[in-house]
């Protein structure tokens, strides 16, 4: 005969094993949520880095080719 730890008024009865299983499921869900948040943070950081690299590339291009001057084929070789 099972020993019930928790008995609810609607007739639901839980044993120690049931409580442990529900606890483990909750912990796994929290870990998955934590991983998803970390991935979102990393994606944001990488997007900012990519944006900064594009700005640096534009500045280098502007300073190298003198701004609005048209680039000639000889300059590219």
- Confidence (pTM): 0.60
* pLDDT (0 to 100) of residue 57: 82
* pLDDT (0 to 100) of residue 32: 98
Question: Domain extents for the chain?
Answer: 6-76
Q: What is the pLDDT of residues 6-62, one digit of tens each?
A: 888 888 899 999 999 999 999 999 999 999 999 999 999 999 999 888 888 877 777
Question: Higher confidence at residue 75 or residue 31?
Answer: 31
Tokens encoding 34: 């934590």
Neighbour-count burial for 39-53, b at 16+ CB within 10 Å, e otherwise: eeeeeeeeeeeeeee
């Amino acid at each position: 005969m099972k020993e019930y730890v928790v008995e609810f008024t609607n007739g639901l009865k839980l044993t120690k094993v049931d409580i442990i299983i529900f606890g483990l499921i909750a912990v796994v869900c929290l870990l998955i949520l934590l991983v998803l948040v970390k991935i979102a943070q990393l994606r944001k950081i990488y997007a900012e880095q990519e944006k900064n690299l594009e700005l640096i590339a534009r500045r280098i291009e502007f300073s190298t080719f003198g701004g609005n001057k048209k680039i000639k084929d000889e300059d590219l070789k």
